[in-house]
Structure formats: C-alpha cells, structure tokens
Amino acid sequence: MYACSQAFHDAVANGNDQKSLMIFSDCVFTDEDINVDNGIEFHEYFNTEEDLAIGQALSSEISFSLFNDDRLLNDYGFGEFLATIGVLIRTGTYQQFGSVMIQSSYTGASYIGSNDMPFIRRNGTALNPQPSFPVKSILIYDRKVWCFSDDGRYAVYRDTDGTNITNQNGLNAFMRKKCQRWNGKGMCYNNDTRMLVIQEGGTRFEYEFVPLGWFEAERPKAPDVIQIDLTCYDQMQKFDQDMPSDDAIGLSWPSTIANLYVKLCNYAHVWYRTTSFINCDASIPERPEDFNTATMRDVLKWIAEAAGSNAMFDRDGYLTLRWLTITGDRYSASEYSEFNPYWYETKKVTKLYNRSTQDVTDQTYGSGDECYLIQDNPLLRGVS
Amino acid sequence: MADITGASLAPIYNRLNTTPSYHPLEADTFADWSLEAGDVVTVTRDGRGYQSPVHSSILRWKKQPQMTISSTGNEARESVAKMSQKKFRNGSGGLRANNYQHIYVDDAYGRMRSGLELTGSSAALYVEDKYRQMKSGLDLTSSSAHLYVDDRYKQMRSGLSLTSSSAALYVEDRYRQMKSGLDLTSSSAALYVDNKYAQMRSGLNLTSSSAALYVDNRYAQMRSGLNLTSSSAALYVDNRYAQMRSGLDLTSSSAALYVDNRYAQMRSGLDLTSSSAALYARSADNAAEIVARINESTGESEIKLSSDRVYIGNSRSTTVINGKCELSDVTANYIGSKIASLATVNVQQLSSERGGVSVYSVGTTNFSQGGVSCYVPNAIWALQIVQDGNNYKLQRQRYNDDGWTDVGTFSRAVTSWTMGWSGGTFTAKANPQNQSCSTQIVQGTVSWDGNNATVPIDGIDSDNPGYQYFTGRNILVDASGRYSAGRLSGWEDCYDDIGLNYSSNQTIDPGGQITIYPAAKPTPSGQHASITTRGITVYASSASTPEDLSLWNGDTRVTESSPVDLGFGSSVVLTPYYKVDGEWVAGTPGKVTSPADPHPTRYSLKCTGASQAGGVVTYTFTTDGGSFSTGTSYYFYR
C-alpha cells in the first residue's frame, strides 16, 4: 500500500473533490484536458498467472483521452509522464496581496505576483531580473518557481534563492493557452510530500496526491483529432529488447545476480528500489547460453524468480522485486458493490521443484502435495 | 555451464510456504488508489473474512474511484508431471494449432492468457466457460477463423484483428465488454454489439464496402473514434440513453448520421463533408439543441458559423431568433435579405456595415425592403456646434428628426469636455436617405487647448473599409468666439452638402486667409468643389457705392461658368474688383456694400487634381486696407 495520510483515506471515503494530473516534462494535463466522462483506467498487475506465481515482470497500464478541440496537441511529442490523482483534504483562507500569491512548501518563501512593477517579489523583495510582464499566475514545482503572464510568456526562478533560471517567450501552444486559464491562481505542487496547494481569491485548497506511476505516452500516429486516446505502459517496456552482449552491458564473469540486476537496470536506464534480495549474492560462473536468445525482460524474470519475487515498477517509478504485503485493510459489505469469492481456498505451497529440461534433473525442497515448479531458470540451474 | 554457487531454494520455498492459503476472489470495491497490486487485503461477507492477495487491480476513475481487485488460484496444485509441464513451457511459450488442429481450453476457470496464434485454414479457438478470460494477442488470420466469446463475465481486452474475408466477432451476452482495437477490414466483416450493457469503447474502424456497426440497445455506449469511410457505411444510434460523444466523420457520398430519440446527445466533432451529408437534430418534444461550444469567458453555449454563406430558414411562417446574434461576415447582404423575408426579427446587434443589416442601434429593428433599406431610429446623421451665450453646444440630428437636439454643452473655460455618451468620444453613424448610398461614421473627441475647442471628425467610408474620406476635419471654435465649421452633414455620392457652413460673419484682416478643409476625397476628378458667397460686404475708406463687386483671378473674372482651377495643395489669389460706371476697378473703393440687397453670387473653384487624401485648399482674399467682412456660406459639392 502506498504510504499516505489518514486524511487522504478519509477524504476519498467522504467523496471529496479529486484532481488528476498527467505531468510531462513540459506540459501538464489536468481534469479540464482529460475526458473525465471516459475516465482514467489504470491496470496494475502483481500476478497474471492462473496460480500464485513468482518470476513475473509485469507492466502497469493506464488509459485516458485528451481533448484536442483546438488542435493544440497535434504537434506535441508526449513522452514520459507521472500519472497521479489527488483528493482535497483541507481548505482554509489567506490574505491576498498583489494579483496572485503562493507560499513554497519547499522553502517556506512567499511569492507575490503583481500587475505593476515589481511584477514578482520573494519574501517582499523584488526578484532580479524582473519578468517583462505582469505576473498573472505562479506555479511552484520541483523547486522551481514559474511565473506566467496571460499571453504565454514565463520566467523561472530557483525556489531556494530566487535566482533567475530563464526568461522565455514560448511555452508550447497547449501550455500557452492553459496558463492563461490560471490567472489569479498561485499553485505549489511539492513532489516530495505530494501535496498541491492552490491559492485563489483568498481561499486555500490543499490536495494530497497518490501517484499511479510513471508511464510512456507515444505520440499518436494521427493526432489531428478532437480527442486523443492514449494507452500507456510503464517503464517495464524498456526491458523488451534482446539481451545485449557482455561488453555492451558491462558484464564480466563470474558475476553475482545482484550485479546482473544492476547492470540490467543501468542499461535500460531505469531506477531501482530493491538492492538486496534472496540469492542476490549467488555467483554466476559464466554467461548462460539462454541469454543469447533471451530478452532483457526474460532475464529480469529469472532474477525475480531466483529472488522468490515478482518484478514491477512501483508508483514512484522505481523497479522493485517484491512479494505480497499484508496491509490489514478490510473491506466490508458497505465498501464493495460486487464480491465473488471462489468457493475453495488456494493452499499454500508445500513442495518446490527446480527443474531443467536440458539435463532432465530435478531438485526439490519440501515434502507436501502442493507443488510449485521452477523450470529452466538459468540462474537456479543445479541449485538445491 | 557450471552450476550457480551460493544460491539456495530454501529461502524461495520459505517465502512461498509462509504465504498463507487464500480465497481467490473478484470484488468491485470503493478502495482508494493507495492500494497496490501485491497487497493482501481482507474482504468480509456475512461475517466471514476472505483474505486474499491482490493479483491485479483495475482503477476506473471518473472524479471518483472504483476499483476492481482480483486474485486467482486453483483448488489444488497438480502433481508435477514432467512431460506436460515441458509441453506448455517450451521455448517462448507459443502454442500453435496448424491445419485442422484445435486447442480446447475447456475446464472450469480455465484461462488463456497470451501468444495464441491460429494460422491454419480451419483453426479455431473456443473459450466457452464461466469466468474465462482471454487477455491478449488473438490473431485470426485464416479464412474461416472465428472467435466465439459466449458466456457471462467473458471479457476480451485487447488486440483482436479479424482480417480474413469471413472473419467475425460475436460479443453477445450481458456484461460482455469489448475494450480496444477491433479492426474489421475484410469485405464481409461485421461487428454485432447487441445486448444490454455491451460496451464498445474505442478504435472501431469499418472500412469494408459493406461494413456496418449497429449499436441498438439501451445503455449501449459508443465513446470514440468511429470512422465510416465506406460508400454505404452508416451509423445508427437509435435508442434511449444512447450517447455519441466524439469523433464521428462521415465522408462518404451517402453517409448520414441520425440521432433521433429522446436523450440522444451529440456533443462534438461532427464533420459532414459529403455531397449529401445532413445533420438532423430532432426530438419529439422539439427540444433538440445543437451546441457547438461553451464560451469559456461567459459560460454560454454558442454555435459559430464561419462559412461563406449561411442559410437559415424553415417552412414555417414565423421564425424568431432570440438572444445575441452577431453576424460578422462582410457578405451579410444576403443574410439581410433572408432575415427581412421573415415575419418577425428581433435583432440586438448586427455588426456588419452593409445594406440592410447595417444596424448599430439597440432595440427592435424593422426591415421593410428585403434587407436593403432599414430604419435606424437611433443613428445620428449630422452634428453641429452652435454658440450658446458664452458656451457652445454640440447638437445632433438623426434621420427623420425635424430639428437639432442638444447632446452636450462645453465652455471655453474647461480644458476638456465629455460628450453626453461614450465617455468623451462620440461615434455617430448615419445612413443616407437614398437607398443607394452608403453608411457613414463620424467620430471624434472634443478638446479645448485654452484658445480653441476642437472636434476632430473622422469620416469613414463603409464601402471601402479603412478609407477615411474626411480625415482630420475639425470643428474649430477659436478664442474670439468664431468657429470655422458648424454643420457637418452630407453623404458621399449623394450630392448632399458636406463641409463648412459659416453661419456668422467672419472678419478677415488685410492679407488674412480663410482656410478651408475640403473633403479628402473630392473625386471623381472633374467634379466641382465650389464656394458660394452670399453677400460680400467690403468696408473701405470711400463712401462711394460701386455698381457691382466681384473677385478676379488675374485678368479673369471668376464666375460660375469660369471657375478657378485649383489643385490640392495649391492656392490662388483672387482680387476684389468693383464696378464703377460700367468699368471694373481694382483697389479699394471705399466703403462699399454690394449688392445692397445681398443675393448669392456663386464662384467656383474647379478641383482638377487626382483623388488625394488630406489636401488643403487655401482660399486667399487680398485686400489693400480696411477690413473685409463676409457673411458667407461655403458649400462643397461633390
């Protein structure tokens, strides 16, 4: 279960207002851009086998539709993005100064935008250099302070000290229009605390977000449509390539399974959360022949299986080798609309087979009737 | 390869063995999205708790979450039989059925999950039982391949491609869902989504000549990306609650979209480009609406028509257009004639400047002559400044007005003056009486610099947008109380009077000048701009009375039949002569009043220059002493 506050759970249970964000490197799509009638559909998999299984490397999937009435997304390249949904957990008031104001939840600094010079002040002091335009809205994200005009111009400052990073004239066409709708809004999205604060007209709204994950959106082949339908997969797809040569991936033998795991992640350009796992110190004497016809995802599955785990990307975009976690969550009849339990119980595993079809050898562990089969895993060959 | 060293099955076994037994389940919960696949939860029913891992979860979020969690597992694990296991885990896991081979997945809760390829001519896949799920990658390419998904709770989730000539997909029963990527490209391919709760969500492409999509029943929803390009393709959305939301493109010659019934809603993106395409918004209670967009600033629903011509009409005798209607197309003449043919028109604002729909007033406008002529009750067609004691008044005259109406008073003591409307800037529109004439606009801002009150007048020719035909003409009132222009009126091509009307005496000192600002557009060339004097009184030292008084251009007496040729920017010196004993004498005749009973004597200045903007005619009276006073009215004829 993703760690979040009790206020988050309570707010969702109470049906408080919710917002979705699709945060790209140079663009953010919000509920006004997403066809909420169609909704967002998010699939997350730990196990897709018929029975409880280890050694899987599954990809999450998210689908949604973006409005493109003005055709402003026709030339947008899309790419990697964070999908996250938040819920309103708190409201309050504040005293408005200037045309827009917001306090950074990173540094505590207060920013006031104005229609007259100075256009932007930090803790009461005019920033230098000033933007060349009246500041109509402010967004603080990733420790950067974005000051927007109402015609697509922006200036960016470091939140830590207020130094200027860039003064630009051009957002992309979509954001240029979008930031005009932000007039009067001060916003701070803290990607450490996952809190979004919106200040507008004396009212302060605080949303807590829980991410769905990092995904890759491919530019549609025919984007000139009024609605762009996107189905996106997480970074597991980066492992869908042939296992590279030892030189290419930087492997030498013998190598531990942990080293193989790290090399794979580095080659695929993904971050990893798990650094220690079952059999991580086991030594592989030489490059297994199976690697020559395998994909990187096959190798990742073998690593996961040797670790008694399944591989998946967590909500923060890190590769993890994980096993089941008892959360203690209980859902009573008022908390589900349909419930279809099977009439039987799936029993726990009482015997483990490790089999290689090359040499027709079996290693077993345990003595019960509930058998689990590990077959042709080159990282467990001959292991008992 | 040598064996792996340092690895052990024991920790793997311990992890699996310590994972408790569980009830496989499927539940639609109100869980929030902090729940992750891999979490173990407990679902209770009738006092009993079912603990189960979440093998997979589906979050459907529409501003509120709904989450389906599921887990799988068998009642008992089969003892490991070496051959059977090897058979299904061979190589990359692909299972092939060649000609006349069949794969049956028959048993309760059996599932087929990936990589099935049927390439034989009669290969077939049957997934027949309860809770079966086919999750990916089914490719039916043989000529007679069929996929049957028949029973309750069956779900087909992705990547179904029917490319053979007789391929067909039948999704027939309740709770069936087809979610993506259905491509029917064969000539006889057909998709039937027939029953309650069947949902087709994306990417349906019917390109074959006889392809058809039928969405017939209650709660059927088609949400995106329907493209009917075949010659006979048709989309029928017939029943209550059917909703078509986006992306319908009818490009074939006979393509048509019918949205007929109550609660049917068409929300966006209708493109009718074929020769016979038509859009009908009809309903039994006459409440059908077509809304093109919602105005972001006002929140109002709008429809914007930007084509060259817009036809609005019906077979009824009365049509009412309510609310704000802005027709910005310059070819609004046609619209005007159409509007005029209607029995009742309530127009609040029509911004076009041309015949009939050139209306700048607010209120009811009656079109009486097919939209060409219109009555504009509030249009101002003339302005003048008159003296009122120590103050001055600006007066307006409107079409059909009998006289002048005060619209504001200003004093020389003030430095600026605010008109009675529009905050210091006045704009008046005027329509000519003559139906062939054009609309004119005069506008300006009154200012006072301490010596002169100035009303700059811009006359805009609406026939030639952007062309001003008397730019910069001022109504000037100087410190001595004289004003150089009073009444402004007249209409281009109408031979109405425009220009300057000196309604009081003006004294010109010896060597002095009267500067006249003529129209900037006195063309066509050859037409006369003339000056008419009404009673010239010359004050001189002599008391003798000449027989006549005239102005001479050199040796030529200026008469109406011999006007002075005067181009723009040039000037001419006219010398006053007086007649004594039948002889014209130059110089100062003494105090002379001629004629004793003033009568008009017309002198003409012929403008021979080409059309020019902003030209200035300087009319110079030269005297050799005394003063030269006139009670003169100048009229420019164009």
pLDDT for B310 equals: 53
Query: Taking CB atoms and an 8 Å limit, are A52 and B1 in contact across chains?
Result: no
- Angle, CA of B344, B345 and B349, to the nearest 5°: 165
Query: Taking CB atoms and an 8 Å limit, are B24 and A342 in contact across chains?
Result: yes
The answer, for A367 touching chain B at a CB cutoff of 8 Å, is no
Please report which confidence band the pLDDT of residue A109 belongs to, taking 50, 70 and 90 as the band edges: very high
B277-316 pLDDT, tens digit per residue, is: 555 554 444 444 555 566 777 777 666 655 555 555 544 4
- How is B67-78 classified by DSSP, letter by letter? EEEE----SSPP
Range of the domain at A193: 95-200
Q: Is the pLDDT of residue A91 over 60?
A: yes
- Chain B interface test: which of A37, A336, A353 (most B C-beta within 10 Å): A336
Query: Taking CB atoms and an 8 Å limit, are A229 and B225 in contact across chains?
Result: yes
Q: Which residues of A touch B63 (CB under 8 A)?
A: 17-18, 31, 36
The answer, for B597 touching chain A at a CB cutoff of 8 Å, is no
Instruction: Pick A6 or B369 by higher pLDDT.
Output: A6
For B37, the closest of A36, A46, A342 (CB atoms) is: A46
The answer, for B157 touching chain A at a CB cutoff of 8 Å, is no
pLDDT for A226 equals: 86
Calculate the alpha carbon distances from A325 to A2, A75, B38, B504 in Å: 11, 43, 6, 103
Query: Taking CB atoms and an 8 Å limit, are B39 and A335 in contact across chains?
Result: no
The region of weakest confidence among A41-55, A229-243, B215-229, B601-615 is: B601-615
Q: What is the mean pLDDT of residues B259-280?
A: 48
Interface ipTM? 0.94
Cα–Cα distance, A374 to B3 (Å, whole number): 16
Please report which confidence band the pLDDT of residue A326 belongs to, taking 50, 70 and 90 as the band edges: confident
Percent over 70 (pLDDT), chain B: 14
The answer, for A318 touching chain B at a CB cutoff of 8 Å, is no
B220-261 pLDDT, tens digit per residue, is: 444 334 555 544 444 544 433 444 443 455 555 555 555 443
pLDDT for A367 equals: 86
- Chain A interface test: which of B19, B36, B132, B183 (most A C-beta within 10 Å): B36
Q: Is the pLDDT of residue B68 over 70?
A: yes
**CATH number for A122:** 2.40.128
Chain A segment 77-106 residues within 8 A of B by beta carbon are 85, 87
Q: Which residues of A touch B200 (CB under 8 A)?
A: none
Q: Across A250-259, B72-81, B102-111, B324-333, which has the greatest mean pLDDT? A: A250-259
pLDDT for B298 equals: 75
- Chain A interface test: which of B8, B9, B51 (most A C-beta within 10 Å): B9
Cα–Cα distance, B51 to A330 (Å, whole number): 9
Instruction: Pick A224 or B604 by higher pLDDT.
Output: A224
Q: Which residues of A touch B72 (CB under 8 A)?
A: 47, 49-52
- Chain B interface test: which of A47, A273, A361 (most B C-beta within 10 Å): A47
pLDDT for B574 equals: 59
Give the strands of the sheet with B528-534, arranged side by side: B528-534, B600-606, B564-565
Inside any domain, residue A300: yes
Q: Is the pLDDT of residue B490 over 80?
A: no
Inside any domain, residue A349: yes
Closest chain B residue by Cα to residue A356: B86
Mean pLDDT of chain B, nearest integer: 49
Q: Across A140-149, A218-227, B84-93, which has the greatest mean pLDDT? A: A140-149
Domain stop point among A181, A200, A219: A200
Distance from CA of A278 to the nearest CA of B (A): 7
A186-202 pLDDT, tens digit per residue, is: 999 998 999 999 999 99
pLDDT for B609 equals: 33
Query: Taking CB atoms and an 8 Å limit, are B3 and A383 in contact across chains?
Result: yes
Q: Is the pLDDT of residue B323 over 80?
A: no
pLDDT for B634 equals: 30
B130-166 pLDDT, tens digit per residue, is: 333 443 334 454 444 445 443 333 444 334 545 544 4
Please report which confidence band the pLDDT of residue A363 belongs to, taking 50, 70 and 90 as the band edges: confident
**CATH number for A253:** 3.55.50.10
Instruction: Pick A263 or B498 by higher pLDDT.
Output: A263
Inside any domain, residue A299: yes
Cα–Cα distance, B494 to B469 (Å, whole number): 14
Partner residues linked to B409 by β-bridges: B393
Closest chain A residue by Cα to residue B36: A1
B389-448 pLDDT, tens digit per residue, is: 656 666 665 545 566 777 666 544 333 333 332 223 333 333 333 333 333 344 444 454
The region of weakest confidence among A54-63, A276-285, B47-56, B386-395 is: B386-395
Question: Which residues in B278-326 belong to E strands, given as ranges?
Answer: 279-281, 293-294, 301-302
Q: What is the mean pLDDT of residues B510-524?
A: 35
Cα–Cα distance, A262 to A192 (Å, whole number): 25
CB B564: neighbour CB atoms within 10 A?
Answer: 19
- Contact call for residues B472 and B598 (beta carbons, < 8 A): no
pLDDT for A103 equals: 95
Chain B segment 237-256 residues within 8 A of A by beta carbon are 245-247
Domain stop point among A176, A200, A224: A200
Tell me how many residue pairs between chain A and chain B have CB atoms under 8 A apart: 330
Q: What is the mean pLDDT of residues B84-110?
A: 39
Mean pLDDT of chain A, nearest integer: 91
pLDDT for A261 equals: 97
The region of weakest confidence among A90-99, A285-294, A362-371 is: A362-371
Name the domain count of chain A. Answer: 3
Q: Which residues of A touch B205 (CB under 8 A)?
A: none
Look at chain A and count its residues.
384
Q: Are residues A372 and A313 in the same domain?
A: no
Q: Across A173-182, A254-263, B489-498, B559-568, which has the greatest mean pLDDT? A: A254-263
Inside any domain, residue A305: yes
Query: Taking CB atoms and an 8 Å limit, are B73 and A52 in contact across chains?
Result: yes
The answer, for B177 touching chain A at a CB cutoff of 8 Å, is no
pLDDT for B271 equals: 54
pLDDT for B123 equals: 46
The answer, for A53 touching chain B at a CB cutoff of 8 Å, is no
Q: Are residues A359 and A289 in the same domain?
A: no
CA-atom Rg of chain A in angstroms: 25
CA-atom Rg of chain B in angstroms: 45
Q: Is the pLDDT of residue A32 over 70?
A: yes
Q: Are residues A100 and A188 in the same domain?
A: yes
pLDDT for B393 equals: 66
pLDDT for A166 equals: 78
Inside any domain, residue A230: no
Q: Across A223-227, B170-174, B319-323, which has the greatest mean pLDDT? A: A223-227
The region of weakest confidence among A74-83, A95-104, A358-367, B88-97 is: B88-97
Q: What is the mean pLDDT of residues B92-116?
A: 41
pLDDT for B36 equals: 94
Q: Is the pLDDT of residue B103 over 80?
A: no
Please report which confidence band the pLDDT of residue A224 belongs to, taking 50, 70 and 90 as the band edges: confident
Inside any domain, residue A88: no
* 3-state DSSP assignment of residue B265: strand
Q: Is the pLDDT of residue B373 over 50?
A: no
Q: What is the mean pLDDT of residues A303-327?
A: 95
- How is B378-429 classified by DSSP, letter by letter? T-EEEEEEEEETTEEEEEEEETT-SS-EEEEEEETTSSB---SSGGGEEEEE
Q: What is the mean pLDDT of residues B196-206?
A: 43
Q: Is the pLDDT of residue A379 over 90?
A: yes
pLDDT for B365 equals: 35
Inside any domain, residue A36: no
- Contact call for residues B155 and B175 (beta carbons, < 8 A): no
